[in-house]
Structure 1
């Protein structure tokens, strides 16, 4: 896969797994994160990437996202694939959720998806025969909702809205899909973000385990590859059966 790929949220978790998955195909991979993307870039180079580019970026900041676009265009000349993984989660009862916390979640998860998607699509050419790919990260919660996670659920529901709208706007030269993970074994499921009660509830699914970030990386590769040629506007679940739409 000699393609030009941008992965956001690439420092750890799902983003790092996606970056390494594409690197292993020999892609040219740009890695953006608000924290130390250079560490993942070194790993991606070791995994077989044809070229890596590490970029610091707050995805909620338009100027920072545009600077990433400028750097990618200068180095790679354009983009064939973007996998937008940067995001945050927040658990609190509604009446204990300050507006500032709501604004932060929406800014990173939804505004960030809008800014990164808009920038990336502007760098893509793509054709009906060889379409470019936009892959956003939503959540299984976008479908079923969850008490005490309302800002997060709202943000990820909005990501599905962007996915469907862009899929219609840019077909057939750009295919736009969202991955909707269930519980994935990353820092996001840690005690700093989710209570022990909710971690236990996450395991009450048919496969009775947390998914691994590498499983999301494999799904991103599928959507970006020949097997994903007839997918657009979809929320694709890798969720252990947590939701069965």
Structure 2
């Protein structure tokens, strides 16, 4: 008989989480640690990672905090190597590093556009490629790519970020076919989430508009995305791959003004 509480546990798993120093990445690392996984936390700022490691360890899990620029492919190889050396396996991967603000297509250069595409897609591809073998050797694994509702909205000022996240979604679907059945690969589309990244652009008027346009009548928290990531990483999602899950408070149209 299936034991449903156990299906939501990741006890004994080892998870790499990128962009783990703040916001959604930090919340994902803590959610996975709370459910039993050991964490390999990657971000650019070591101080943020050290603070996270203390919280992970307070939850009874182990944490390897590694400063890492995901745009450096050698650094990603080193990240995987250190994870295997420290914990002996890799079974979970949350590709959270990425992002971009609004852009003006009349002014944004090709080089800047290319940087947004590369940052949001290429590191996730590379880490999946590097981690898939160890996952298979460990008996299987799961990947969660953090995308955005910008991938499916048609809206002004998001041609770069929207294109990047749409590419990440389609890459998720295709790689899920390539690496099944040993590695499941899914994505989450967060809606408007209260993070430091959003805070840079949030005015009282913009926040009020966003809340009004959200059926759930509030903006999301990083923990809302972390809960979805935990589900997709857990055995409860064992028959789910190649899917994009919207976690957006019910918003079905752009709410950015």
TM-score scaled to structure 2, two decimals?
Answer: 0.87
Q: Which residue of 1 aligns with 2:247?
A: 238
The structure that has the greater radius of gyration is 2
Partner of 1:186: 195
Q: Cα offset for 1:200?
A: 4.8
Query: Which secondary structure state, in structure 1, belongs to the residue aligned with residue 112 of structure 2?
Result: helix
Give 2:75's aligned residue: 64
Select 1:18's aligned residue among 16, 28, 45: 28
* Mapped contact 1:126–1:132 kept (Cα < 8 A): no
| Partner residue, 1:81 | 92
Q: In the alignment, what sits opposite 1:47?
A: 59
For residues 60 and 241 of structure 2, what CA distance do their matches in structure 1 show? 29
Q: Deviations over 1:199-235 (max 9, x none)?
A: 4553312112111111111111111112211211000
Runs of 5+ unmatched residues, structure 1: none
Name segments (4+ residues, structure 1) moved above 4 Å.
193-201
Which residue of the partner structure matches residue 164 of structure 2?
A: 155
Deviations 1:30-66 (A, max 9, x none): 00001122221121111221x1101111111111111
Aligned residues: 240
Which residue number corresponds to residue 146 of structure 2?
Answer: 137
For the pair 1:202 / 2:222, whether they are aligned, the reply is no
2:229 alignment partner in structure 1: 220
In the TM superposition, what is the alpha-carbon distance from 1:5 to its structure 2 partner?
Answer: 0.8
TM-score (norm 1): 0.91
Partner of 2:7: none
**Mapped partners of 1:126, 1:200: distance in 2:** 49
C-alpha distance in 1, partners of 2:209/2:131? 36
Question: CA offset at residue 96 of structure 1?
Answer: 1.9
